[in-house]
Amino acid sequence: MKIHPTAIVDPGAQLGSDVQIGPYSVIGPQAVIGARTVIQSHVVIDGSVAIGAGNFIGHGAIIGGVPQDLSFSPERKTKIEIGNGNVIREYCTIHRGSAEGSATKIGDNNFLMVGAHVGHNCEVGNNVIIANNCLLAGHVRVDDQAFLGGGSTFHQYMRVGRLVMVQGSSAFGKDLPPFVVAAERNSVFGVNVVGLRRAGFSAKDRDQIKNAFKLLYTSGLNISQALKKAAATKFGAPAREFFAFVAAAKKRGICPYKTGSEAVSGV
């Protein structure tokens, strides 16, 4: 274990083996930090925060801050749960849950670039990339292997599906179904064909996802009609995942397709 003499580590904090804590960092009494985690300088870990093994936390990050929720009461017991192998770069902010007993959750092997903000009660899956200055409002869910381009914003209670690719400087207030390319303001542009190929999806699965996308967005059917037709079609598991997501997107609805964008996406 290597703790810089200027760091302040509360005696109640639980530190795993080979943890490194840099200059002027502050580690609170309820922090649990797993083995081999590296914490650089001027980091603040406050409140009930559990961090797994092998994480990297960059200069000036603040993890466990009070949620930006006017209804929050300081006496509430809320927390943050972070898995293993994450990279959380400089000046990221991650706020703990708001409602009593709730948590903000980040899985494994995610990469949060400089200045990303993860609001209270967000849930980030595994192998997600959140680029510089992305803003996730409260209760945003980001599924595995999504890529959120720099400077993009995500409204509270929305969901980003698996392997979604978001262009930088975009803004969303509706759900983004899995496997899509999204950009601008609440616009879906097509299927993330390159991402699917890199993730090892077979040609058959990629074709079925393209067909599922076309059935939903370009067939002329409304969502209910498309879901009904999809249920009667022999799709494989990824295409069924696509429609299951759409069927569950009742709170905010899904982002619409921007017509004329086939060349961008490969659909």
- In order of their start, the domains of the chain are 2-142 (2.160.10.10), 147-267 (1.20.1180.10)
Q: Retrieve residue 53's tokens.
A: 């093994």
11-25 pLDDT, tens digit per residue, is: 999 999 999 999 999
Q: What is the mean pLDDT of residues 81-93?
A: 99
Output the average pLDDT for the chain. Answer: 96
pLDDT number for residue 259: 81
pLDDT at 83: 99
Instruction: Give the Å distances, CA to CA, from 23 to 31, 32, 48, 171, 213.
Output: 17, 19, 22, 36, 50
Residues in Cβ contact with 112 at an 8 Å cutoff, skipping those fewer than 6 apart = 86, 87, 88, 89, 92, 118, 130
| Residue 67, pLDDT above cutoff 70 | yes
pLDDT at 264: 43
pLDDT of 250 reads 87
d(CA 58, CA 128): 17
% of the chain beyond a pLDDT of 90: 96
What mean pLDDT comes out for the span 137-144? 98
pLDDT at position 267:
57
Extract the tokens encoding 227: 């879901």
Give per-residue pLDDT as tens, 207-261.
Answer: 999 999 999 999 999 999 999 999 999 999 999 999 999 999 988 999 999 986 5
At 263 the pLDDT is: 38
Q: Is the pLDDT of residue 265 over 80?
A: no
Average pLDDT for 151-177 = 98
**pLDDT tens-digit map of 231-244:** 999 999 999 999 99
Q: How many residues does the chain have?
A: 267
Among 13, 77, 4, 8, residue whose Cα is nearest residue 40: 4
What's residue 201's pLDDT? 98
Q: What is the pLDDT of residue 163?
A: 98
